[in-house]
Each structure stands twice: as structure tokens, then as C-alpha cells.
Amino acid sequence: MNWPIGPYGTSMGALLLFTLPIHYFLTRDEKDRRVSLADIPKEIKEKGYWWHILLYLLMFFYKAIIDYHNEPMKARVGGFTHWIYELEGDWTNHLQEFFLNDTLTNLLSGHYLFMYLFMIWFSPMYYILCRDEIMADKAALNYFVIYLLSVPLYLFFNVEVTSTYLADMDALLYHDSFTLAFFTDNDPMDNAIPSLHVGLPISLLIINRLHCRKLGIDFKDWRHREFDYFIQFNVIIYLFSIQYLGIHWFVDIIPGIILAVITSSFVHAVQPVVRARTENGLISLLPDRNQVLSSILIILICSTWLVVGVIDGSGTDEDEANMRFGVGDINLDTIEVHSLWDPVIVDVYNVGDYDVEVLLIQRDFVEDYAEKGIFNWNKIISYGNLSVVEVNSSLKLTIIPDNLFDVNILLVRLSSSDNIQEDSIGEVRIVSNYVDDELIYTGFLVSFPAFIITGIVLEGFYNRRY
């Protein structure tokens, strides 16, 4: 698909285009409570929305930092996709095969690309334009807090997307000429747990109900109930699309919901404190003694688990595959640029029962030959370096990029040979060793906010119980 502004530009353009029409539709019964476009700067100043803007800017840089840590840490952390596969099996593959349809793929891909960004942006904007600063605070905090909570799982519990691990599962969203560059630049494709596409909107739904309970009103009488229905509708679509498109495991939904419960509880409790900080002083934002003690306990427990059970632990077992593929499948792994002087050493271990072919190639040569999960191997093979890795052997590749924008990828498939059967499955383990693998230590530190928030929430649950 040729479209000059790409998936991100398309999504951002649609986001700005649809914000006001959807807002006007949802508030058609209370036009007198809308904020006009001319009054937005005044509303931001009067209600103190400047920190919402700063929060979103902070999240942009914070996510970039976390993504920068992800690949170098994998050599020390490994992956746990095989655990999820043993628990769940091929369920999502059967779902995709049953519903597979080009029109459905296009609709769900567009929804996936657009709606998550729209939900992050539109949630606080909707409340700001409705003159509801309390819910605007909660919507902004919701995105910030749930991402903080997901960081330890993203960095230390790597789980590949289903299309990477399930044989015959097509990467309908990722491996397409329109989206390939976007996702190889922005998605490590091993952050399946937790699913924030489900967790973030569910957290909003819980926050809405906690808010109504605090106001002492029935949900059906709440002025924003139609926005809640809008969120519910999109959650239902996500529950299906993340399975169908070859992205998430069904199991991924459960941690997403758990984080939604923790996030909504924390946001609901902390929002009044944040809103009153100008009167009570910044010191009022600090946790009290019991919250500090609970947070320290959670930090100790979780840190011990990471040091003893995760770093250089069972996830780094060289005999466990982190990529599986069937006959005709071609899987992809991205090599990031972290240095122009020090090479990335990539080890490809064949841990399966069949020979595999590995093609090292620049992404630019592949982009035009991918369509809805299918690569045209015959078109791209001449542009890269092809190697055959036999059973119980390995391949070592040394990659030095020419510039910061030089993106190399590995394409892996079963080798064409006489012993290949219809149900043959290739299994490899790809380990990329970066010069800055010591980021494992700062990755450890950036996980602390999640432990602190969890400690505060658990202390709150305990106090309410007793």
C-alpha cells in the first residue's frame, strides 16, 4: 500500500480530524457545557492543565528510553514465550484461520493503529472540552501510571507476539508494506505481556465507576456515560483484533486487567492529592510512612525475584526457541542501531529438527515486498546475504550499521529440502549482543516506580480491609 505519510502520520491526522466530531456527538445533549476552541488556552490556564501537557511529553521521552533498553537487555534476560505457549497452545492461530479475510484484516489493522493513540489523546481532551477537570486529571494519570506499571514486565518478562512463535500464524499487521517500517522502528515485538490495548481502556472504565460511586450517583445518570459506552465498544473490538492480527496471546489480557485494577485504584486515590498540591504544597505528594514501608517491601520482593529468578535465569536457556515457523512462513527479527563503531553480534541457534535459512538484509529492500503477513521471498533474496543453519548448529553474524538510520533485519524460514513435510516446524533462538548490554542495571532502576506504586496500592487495600 502506497501512502505518503505512513501509518503514524495517518493515525495522527485522523486523530486530530475526528476529535471534535466525536466530542460534539458525545456531548450533543449538553452543548452549554462545552469549551469553545477559542477558550481552550484560558481553560488550560485556569484549570492548571499545563502538567497534563508536560506529562504527555515526559511519556514520549520515557517510552523512548524504555524501548532503547529493551533489545540490549534481552541477552541477559532471554524470553518466556515457551511458558505461554505451553499454557495456551495454538488457540489464536485457529481463530485467525477461521476468520481470515482481507476486508476484516484492513478494518482491524486500521482500528488497531488509530484507536489506541486516539484513546490516549482523546480521553483527557474529551473531559477538558467538557469542563470536567477531575476526570481530565484521572484520564491523563491513567496513561502515565499504567505504562509505568508495565515497564518491569516489558523489560524482564519478554514474550514474543503470537505471529513470531506460532507456526502458520500470519503477522497480518506487522508484515505489510504500509506498516513494516513503523513497527520495526517502534515495536520490539516481544512486549506481548501485558496487553495495554486492553488494560488502558479497562482502567478507564473502572475509574469511571469509582468516580460515580464517589459522587453517590448511578452510572446511568452520569453525564459521561456515552463516552464510557464508546470505550466499552472499542474494548470489545480489541479483545478480538489483538488475537486475529497475530499480536497478543489470550493470556496477555489477564496481566493487562490486573494492571488496570492497580492503576485505577491508584489514580482514583491520588487525583485529589495532585489537584490540591497548590494549596497543600508539593510535600503533600509524598507517600506517608505506611506507604513508604509497603513500597520498600515490594521493591525488595520484586528486586530479589529479578536478580535471582530472571537475570541470567531460565529465560536465557539456549535450547529454547524464541521464534517458530511452519512451511511457507517467514519470520522477522530487527537489529537496532546502538553504535556506529561497535558491532552487534547476532547468534542464531537452530534448536529444531529441520534446517533453516537466514537472510540478513536491509529493510528498504524488503518493504515493498510484504503484504498482509506474506513476504515475496523470490523478490528479496538477491538483496541480502543468505545462510543455511543446519540442525544443532548455529550462525554468528557481525553487523555494523553505516548510519543511524540503517535498519537491518533477519528473515528466517524453513530450508527447502526433501525431508520437509506439510506439518514441519522450524525453531530458532536469536540472541543479539549489543555493546550497551549494561543497560540491564538502569533497566532495573526504571522498574522501581512500578514497584512503589504497587506497594502504595496494596497498602491502601490492606487499610480499607482492616
Candidates 130, 126, 158, 162; CA nearest to 142 is 126
Q: Which residues pair with 326 in a beta bridge?
A: 425
Candidates 456, 13, 52; CA nearest to 268 is 456
Q: Which residues pair with 397 in a beta bridge?
A: 346
CA dist., res. 199 & res. 149, Å (int): 11
394-399 and 370-371 beta bridge pairing: unpaired
Cα angle for residues 434, 435, 438 (degrees, 5° grid): 95
Residue 218 vs residues 127, 211, 231: alpha-carbon distances, Å: 19, 10, 18
The terminus-to-terminus CA distance of the chain in angstroms comes to 59
- Those residues with Cβ within 8 angstroms of residue 203's Cβ, 6 or more apart along the chain or in another chain: 142, 146, 259, 260, 261, 263, 264, 267
CA dist., res. 190 & res. 430, Å (int): 12
Residue 379 C-alpha cell reads as: 523478490
Domains and CATH numbers, the chain: 6-286 (no CATH), 315-435 (2.60.120.680)
Contact present, 193 and 252 (Cβ < 8 Å): yes
Candidates 433, 438, 427; CA nearest to 347 is 433
Candidates 78, 156, 74, 185; CA nearest to 434 is 74
CA dist., res. 35 & res. 40, Å (int): 7
User: Which H or E run includes 358?
Assistant: strand 356-362
CA 344 to chain centroid, in Å, comes to 24
User: Quick one: pLDDT at residue 1?
Assistant: 47
Q: Within 10 Å of residue 231's Cβ, how many Cβ atoms?
A: 18
Q: Which residues pair with 325 in a beta bridge?
A: 426
User: Quick one: pLDDT at residue 166?
Assistant: 94
Q: What are phi and psi of 399, to 5 degrees?
A: -125, 120
- Those residues with Cβ within 8 angstroms of residue 437's Cβ, 6 or more apart along the chain or in another chain: 72, 73, 75, 76
- pLDDT digits (tens), the chain, 466 positions: 455 567 777 888 888 899 999 999 999 988 888 988 888 889 889 898 999 999 999 998 999 999 999 999 999 999 999 999 999 999 999 999 999 999 999 999 989 988 988 999 999 999 999 999 999 999 999 999 999 999 999 999 999 999 999 998 999 988 888 888 888 888 888 999 999 999 999 999 999 999 999 999 999 999 999 999 999 999 999 999 999 999 999 999 999 999 999 999 999 999 999 988 878 777 878 888 899 999 999 999 999 999 988 998 989 998 999 999 999 899 999 999 888 888 999 999 999 999 999 999 999 899 889 888 889 999 999 899 999 999 999 999 999 988 888 899 999 999 987 678 888 999 999 999 998 777 888 999 999 999 999 999 999 888 776 5
Q: How many residues are there in the chain?
A: 466
Scanning 336-423, the segments in alpha helix (DSSP H) are: 377-380
